[in-house]
Structure 1
Amino acid sequence: MDAAALVTPPYVAGPLRLEPFPALMLTPARVGHPSTGRAFARPYKDVSARLVRWEARGLVTADTEPALYIHEYSSNGMTVRGLVGALDVSRRAARAEDRAVLPHEGIHPTQADELADRMDEMQLNPAPILLVHQGTPGLREVLAEAARREPDRAFADRGGQEHRVWAIRSPATHAAIAAELADSRALIADGHHRYAAYLRLQRRRVGEPDGPRPTDLGLAMLVDQGDTPLFLGPIHRTLTGTSLDDLRDAAETLGLDYHEEGQAEAVHALSSARLAATDGKRWAGVSLRVEEDEAAVEVLHRRILPALPHGPAAIAYHHTVDEALGRARPDSIAVLMPAPSVDLVHRIAEADRLLPEKATSFQPKPSLGVLIRSLRDAAPARP
Structure 2
Amino acid sequence: MDFATDVPPYVAKPLELLPFRALMLAPARVGDPASARALARPYRDVAARLTEWIEQGRAIADSAPALYLHEYTAAGLTVRGLVGALAMSRRTASRADRAVWPHEGIHPEQAGELAERMYQMELNPAPILLVHHGDPELRALLADVTRAEPEWRYLDRSGHRQRIWAIRDVDVLARIATLLGGTRCLLADGHHRYAAYLRLQQEHPGTAWDAGLAMLVDQVDTPLFLGAIHRTLPGTTLEDLVAAAREAGADVTTDERRRALGALDSTHLVLTDGTSWHTVSPVDLDRDAAVSWLHQRVLPLLPVPPRRIEHHHNVEDTLAATSDSSPAVLLPSPDFEQVRALVESGGLLPEKATSFQPKPSLGALMRPMTDE
TM-score (norm 1): 0.95
The SS at the match of 1:286 is strand
Aligned partners of 2:228 and 2:359: how far apart in 1?
A: 15
- 1:347 paired residue number: 341
Q: Is the 8 A contact 1:290 1:296 kept in 2?
A: no
Aligned partners of 2:257 and 2:111: how far apart in 1?
A: 40
1:1-383 equivalences under 5 Å are: 2-3=2-3, 6-206=5-205, 212-290=206-284, 293-378=287-372
Runs of 5+ in structure 2 lacking a partner?
none
The SS at the match of 2:10 is coil
Cα distance, 1:242 vs structure 2: 2.0
Q: Is the 8 A contact 1:81 1:223 kept in 2?
A: yes
Aligned partners of 1:242 and 1:350: how far apart in 2?
A: 34
Aligned partners of 2:130 and 2:249: how far apart in 1?
A: 38
- 1:381 paired residue number: none
Q: Is the 8 A contact 2:82 2:215 kept in 1?
A: yes
The SS at the match of 2:174 is helix
Aligned partners of 2:339 and 2:246: how far apart in 1?
A: 28
Q: Is the 8 A contact 1:280 1:330 kept in 2?
A: yes
Please give the per-residue CA displacement for 1:171-205, whole angstroms capped at 9, x wherever unaligned.
10011101111111111111001111110000001
Aligned partners of 2:283 and 2:267: how far apart in 1?
A: 7
TM-score (norm 2): 0.97
Cα distance, 1:291 vs structure 2: 5.0
Aligned partners of 1:350 and 1:368: how far apart in 2?
A: 31
Q: Is the 8 A contact 2:267 2:285 kept in 1?
A: no
Runs of 5+ in structure 1 lacking a partner?
207-211, 379-383
Q: Is the 8 A contact 1:6 1:109 kept in 2?
A: no
**How many pairs were matched up?**
372
Q: Is the 8 A contact 1:239 1:314 kept in 2?
A: yes
Aligned partners of 1:260 and 1:349: how far apart in 2?
A: 34
Give the share of equivalent positions with the same residue, in percent.
56
Q: Is the 8 A contact 2:107 2:192 kept in 1?
A: yes
The SS at the match of 1:271 is coil
Q: Is the 8 A contact 2:251 2:282 kept in 1?
A: yes
Aligned partners of 1:365 and 1:12: how far apart in 2?
A: 22
Cα distance, 1:290 vs structure 2: 3.0
Q: Is the 8 A contact 1:89 1:218 kept in 2?
A: yes
Q: Is the 8 A contact 1:130 1:189 kept in 2?
A: yes
Q: Is the 8 A contact 1:235 1:317 kept in 2?
A: yes
Aligned partners of 1:216 and 1:330: how far apart in 2?
A: 50
Please give the per-residue CA displacement for 1:50-70, whole angstroms capped at 9, x wherever unaligned.
000001111121112110000
